[in-house]
Chain A
Amino acid sequence: MATFTFTPHIASRPTLSSSSKRKPKFNSIKTTKVSLQTSPPSLSDPFVLQLAETLEDSLPSSSLPFPLQKLRESSAETLLSTPWPSRRDEAFRFTDVSFIKQSQIHPISNPPQSSQLSSIPVETQFANVVIIDGHFVDSVSNLTELPNGVYVGSFIDLPSHSIAKRVSEFVDGKFVGDLFWSINGVGAPDLTVVYVPAGCKVENPIHFRYFSINGGEEGSKELAVSNPRVLVLVENGGEIEIIEEFLSGDGGRSYWANPVLEVVIGCGGKVKHSYIQNQSLNAAHIKWTSVQQESTSAYELVEISTGGKLSRHNVHIQQLGPETMTELSTLHLSVGNQTQDLHSSLVLDHPRGYSRQLHKCIVANPQGQAVFDGNVKVNRYAQQTDAGQLTRSLLLEPRATVNVKPNLQIIADDVKCSHGAAISDLEETQLFYFQARGIDLETARKALIFSFGAEVIERLPSTSVQKRVENHIKELLNTTLERS
């Protein structure tokens, strides 16, 4: 029996109160002076403390530049009062992270040795950044053809003092995510920066390749944790396309990638972001993407996630000025015993904003699961906003599970919002149409399943990435469907 939960949750003015009840209460003696951002307040969680200590110990603290030092300290402080999430927390109700807790976690303190670099395939098409186990590795990256004034590299190597100062404003920003966000803040060995000066339109994409080469053998309890952290700062009128690709590494190694990406887009700026997650089926992959958009800027995300035993993408987007555009398209594919989770929150605070979210997931395994919690908040001053959200799930196995909670909260009154959710198996009448034209059932099924995902894949800006993703998904579906 397939199960799903689904909450079309459109709260308009009268239910405003529902959001206020989540305000943190600071009645605990222990935590009052620690951090104002945590909720609910509680005593320190011994597991989290130990994890934080291990991470801190693994990194040299003396040489850190001031902003990173500050980030590490504030993150550590937050961790003091943040417990490890349980299924009782609304945000983790359907996403079980206990397998991380039950593993032996060890940080990867040192950048990879040069002997380990030979396995990194050379990429010639785009300017590219290689991040291995959280460490930016200059020697295998290729950043030779960047336009004037554009910087891509480690924070420490920033050439200009003024840019470093500018970037520093955002290193330890206002936004604080959940526990995993703070773990990254403590454990990030470095900060990789992409800086696009005002008015500069970077023509070619920057390709981020993240490799996880340390990790336990398949089936072991070892979990090597890495905390890559990247900040993209696009000044007014600047434009750039970035491709983030998380690769599997060899075999089914167990590791925990805990990356954070922050994107700051100035007025009229534009960022196209592709995110492809294809990690080992024994890995945990928990990512944060936080985006701040000034007025009239545009941000487009296309995500394709197929890897990981536990994969979660937390997306937080804040529109900071009027006439701002945000488009999110995601495709999650769960062909194994795996969870694919998207938790997104989009806040529209200003007039004439525009947002579109399309989330699609395919669950093709009886033990597979997809989770979607998509919150779009259209606040009081966001008049004449046009916000759309659509989620569609395809369950190919009778016991496959999907939990979707599309959630549009509208407080402004002059808005155009649309909203929808559908969960289905393949349509029998469509399958029959193929058969009636001589096409066998298996081919028909594949074509329909693939076309379901194609709607998102087609939105990847780079055609070469599109082709690669297409082939990868076809391969995954082929092996899965042939097994069943």
Chain B
Amino acid sequence: MAYCSSSSTTSASPVVRYLPSNSTSSTTSTFSPLPFRSNRRRSVRIATASLSPVNSPSTSFSGSQKNLLLEVKDLTAVIAESKQEILKGVNLVVYEGEVHAIMGKNGSGKSTFAKVLVGHPDYEVTGGSILFKGSDLLEMEPEERSLAGLFMSFQSPVEIPGVSNIDFLNMAYNARRRKLGLAELGPIEFYAYIFPKLDLVNMKTDFLNRNVNEGFSGGERKRNEILQLAVLGAEMAILDEIDSGLDVDALRDVAKAVNGLLTPNNSVLMITHYLRLLEFIEPSRIHIMEDGKIVKTGDISIAKLLEEEGYKAISTA
């Protein structure tokens, strides 16, 4: 009769969202800003494009005291569902404190590479190896990789309705603390911890009470990813197109935040299409990816050449 049957767990047939009048779920815990907010504002003053990270290209490979952080060898990976090969033998070495960038045409496999590094279930590794701080990354669950100090900011982070940003961050931060054998922080202590970090990415407090990425603009999502990085910290941060969709001021904010998080020991791997970001966060090495492989490595001059002449200028063909 009027019923129809099917036998699948995931069928999301016509979904018409309706928003009940009181659905803005920002009501739970409204913290008022602490009074000393402006006095304590952290000033991370970085003159435009002047920050040269602790390493320079000339020393990064010769420096004997530098420790290996990430070593990727002949990495191949396929899409789990279709078995289509996307990564076709990627090689990359990153030392502590280095800033690297990966550039390359749309669809060349940059995001796939980043996601494979953090253990995304859409992909299957079919060959090669990844060592992170000397351990075999491929043996680790995604959450273990994160707890080990690997962070990736997603090119398009997913929305999580029903889970507030602050609860999410609190959960993630407590997972870190548990791992370190420290006591977990309750919501109020955590708020005190996170509050100063908001300024770092120039985010308003009400973002904390909104659901994770729900209804966030493109730029807000990127800031939110960097906020997570600031809260959780990472020895290796992979930033996938952190600059796309950002206006000039936002780009400066985000770059400033990333630079503020750099120390002599942690590293950044940026994926970008634009020279502009590289002028804010200066990489020591730039890699060009093409059809699932890194086909060229060099310094900032590659990015300049790209900007002027496009990919044909550095094509391997």
Contact = CB atoms under 8 A, between A and B. Distances in A.
Interface of A: 1-9, 90, 93, 327, 329, 356, 358, 388-390, 395, 398, 403, 405, 407, 418-425, 427-430, 432-441, 443, 447-448, 450-452, 454-455, 458-459
B142 A420 contact: no
A421 B9 contact: no
B176 interface: yes
A90 B163 CA distance: 38
Contacts of A358: 18, 20
Contacts of B179: 438
24 contacts: A3-B6, A6-B4, A93-B3, A327-B20, A390-B18, A395-B9, A407-B2, A418-B18, A420-B14, A420-B16, A421-B13, A422-B15, A423-B9, A424-B10, A424-B11, A430-B158, A435-B142, A436-B120, A436-B152, A436-B154, A437-B175, A438-B146, A441-B143, A452-B162
A427 B121 CA distance: 12
Given A403-B3, A423-B11, A451 B162 contact: yes
Interface string B1-39: 111111111111111111011110101100000000000
Contacts of A356: 18, 20-21
Given A356-B20, A440-B141, A458-B28, 5 more contacts: A423-B9, A434-B168, A434-B172, A439-B143, A443-B171
B206 to A, nearest CB: 17
Contacts of B172: 434, 437-439
B175 A421 contact: no
Interface string B149-179: 0001010011011110001100110011001
B9 A398 contact: yes
A177 B9 CA distance: 34
B146 A455 contact: no
Of A329, A418, A422, A425, chain B has the most CB atoms within 10 Å of the CB of A422
Given A438-B232, A454-B162, A5 B14 contact: no
A297 B228 CA distance: 46
A93 B5 CA distance: 14
Size bracket of the B interface: 35 or more
Contacts of B7: 1-3
Closest 8 CB pairs of A and B: A451-B162, A420-B16, A438-B146, A435-B142, A437-B172, A388-B18, A438-B175, A5-B3
With most chain B CB atoms within 10 A of its CB, the pick from A407, A434, A437 is A437
Nearest to B171: A439
Interface of B: 1-18, 20-23, 25, 27-28, 118-121, 141-143, 146-147, 152, 154, 157-158, 160-163, 167-168, 171-172, 175-176, 179, 212, 228, 232
What DSSP secondary structure best describes chain A's contact surface? mixed
B10 A425 contact: yes
A428 B152 contact: no
A1 B3 CA distance: 18
Given A327-B20, A430-B160, A5 B146 contact: no
Nearest to A387: B18
A11 to B, nearest CB: 10
Contacts of A443: 171, 175
Contacts of B27: 458
Contact of A8 (B8, B13, B212): B13
Interface-central residue, B3, B23, B118, B147, by most chain A CB under 10 Å: B3
A324 B237 CA distance: 55
Nearest to A354: B21
Given A388-B18, A420-B15, A423-B11, A7 B2 contact: yes
A452 B146 CA distance: 26
Contacts of B212: 433
A47 to B, nearest CB: 26
B163 A435 contact: no
A168 B143 CA distance: 64
Contact of B2 (A405, A423, A430, A435): A405
Given A429-B158, A438-B143, A438-B147, A405 B13 contact: no
A356 B19 CA distance: 9
A152 to B, nearest CB: 28
A439 B231 CA distance: 14
Contacts of A395: 9
A419 to B, nearest CB: 6
A405 B146 contact: no
B139 to A, nearest CB: 15
A389 B17 CA distance: 9
A459 B146 contact: no
B162 A437 contact: no
Nearest to A421: B13
A49 B73 CA distance: 80
A467 B125 CA distance: 45
Contacts of A452: 162
A90 B15 CA distance: 25
A433 B157 contact: yes
Given A4-B6, A9-B2, A435-B146, A459 B22 contact: yes
B15 A433 contact: no
Contacts of B11: 4, 6, 423-424
B176 A420 contact: no
Contacts of B158: 427, 429-430, 433
Contacts of A2: 7-9
A436 B158 CA distance: 12
Nearest to B174: A439
Contacts of A432: 120-121, 142
Contacts of B121: 428, 432
Contacts of A7: 2-4
Nearest to A2: B9
